[in-house]
Amino acid sequence: MEHASSGHIPHAQLIVSKNGGLAWPAVQRYIQMLVCAQGGCGTCDACAQHRQMAHPDVHYIFPVVASASSGGTSDVFLPEFRNFLKFNKFPVVRNWIEALDAAQKVVQISVKEAKRMGDILSLTSHSGRYKVLVIWLPERMHDSAANKLLKTLEEPENKTVILLISHDEESILGTIRSRCQTIYLPPWGRNEVERWLIDERRMDPNQAKILSSLSAGEPGIALDFLENRERLIPLAEHFVEWLRLAFKKDLPGLQTWVDHVAAWNREQQRDFLVFSGEVLSQLERKRQNALRGFALDWFPEIAFNADGFAKLMDHHKVLFMHQTLDDAYKDVGRNVNARLVFFDASLLLMKAF
Ligand SMILES: [Zn+2]
């Protein structure tokens, strides 16, 4: 993001990070520089208001449940949203949907938000400084809201800054993307996440090691796992069972296994494949005695001879297995019949051993 003191503030910026990544804190720091007369002192009234997400010149739009009673606009949900970000300043989309209790509902930036966007932009700035509009997840915008945004981007208003935070850049309208300055924030990194869990979240060092190893370097993901350990248990169980069955070349057993996994929803199936890929990499590092914090140690209730399996691995097998998991991940995303995808992957896994 352009430094506020450098003078030129781009009208629209698209900040891209992975789910659970660094985008939110980065955007919040940036806004602090915009709203504070001292360039982000952290102690003045404007900074304090902004920290509470209550600065009159900073507006938030984010996906909500489009129900009739709530009006379907994010201002109604702002208190919930503030609370949500208080627990995890690196938010994960799924957790927000759960906080809304909306697993089966459409969660989006609704048609009604288009009008609200217009109202926000026509307001005069309270402080005489910048007016800021933050849009979390522009990839979840209803078409009419997206068109409204597009018009705004085409005819920028003075001293108005629009900050879009996305975890899925490809799903944003190309015409919107092309009018924004895009900034990519890479993962924080596993070591940084580990240190943060210990120093800031006061976590036990062993647990911090395991969680950071599973986080892919995104702090929000580590917190998500911490809060939702029970969601990972079936993934861990099925991964261990999969390796065992494939190693024993137990075809009927694999068929039953496929039946179970094919009954999950698509998101669970993709979580499973990502989780499996991470544990597989860890087994490879274990073989080389280069592993810190093995993920399955977090599940003492699941019996698994990790050292034994690590010895069965070699570099080529691991590469082949990763390829198998990646292909399955793509197929699941393309809506290929899940039974076929996982049966095919099981045969390949058998072949690998
Ligand atoms: Zn200040």
pLDDT tens per residue, range 223-245: 998 888 888 899 999 999 999 99
Residue 5 scores a pLDDT above 60: no
Task: Show the domains of the chain with their CATH numbers.
Answer: 4-184 (3.40.50.300), 229-352 (1.20.272)
Distance 274 CA to ligand 1 centre (A): 42
Extract the tokens encoding 157. Answer: 């208003």
Q: What is the 301 CA–ligand 1 centroid distance (Å)?
A: 50
The Cβ of residue 9 has, within 10 Å, a number of other Cβ atoms equal to 17
Instruction: Return phi, psi of residue 3, to 5°.
Output: -70, 130
Give the type of residue at 338.
A
Q: How far, in Å, from the CA of 216 to the mean position of ligand 1?
A: 34
Which among 303, 302, 306, 276 has a CA at the least distance from the CA of 291? 306
- Does the pLDDT at position 4 exceed 60? no
- 278 pLDDT band (50/70/90 cuts)? confident
Q: 178 C-alpha to center of ligand 1: Å?
A: 33
Residue 1 has pLDDT above 70, yes or no: no
How far, in Å, from the CA of 33 to the mean position of ligand 1? 8
**Model confidence pTM above 0.85:** no
Q: How many A from CA of 28 to the centre of ligand 1? A: 13
Separation of CA 40 and ligand 1 centre (Å): 5
Contact 173, 23 (CB under 8 A): no
344 CA distance to ligand 1 middle (Å): 58
List, in order, residues 6 or more apart from 36 with CB less than 8 Å away.
Answer: 42, 44, 46, 47, 50
What's the CA-to-centroid distance between 332 and ligand 1, angstroms?
48
Contact 167, 18 (CB under 8 A): yes
Q: Which residue has the higher pLDDT, 144 or 49?
A: 49
Ligand 1 centroid to Cα of residue 6, in Å, is: 17
Please, which residues have CB less than 5 A from ligand 1, an ion?
36, 41, 44, 47
193 Cα to the center of ligand 1, angstroms: 28
Structure-block tokens of residue 189: 């990194």
pLDDT of 109-139, one tens digit each? 988 898 899 899 888 899 989 999 999 999 9
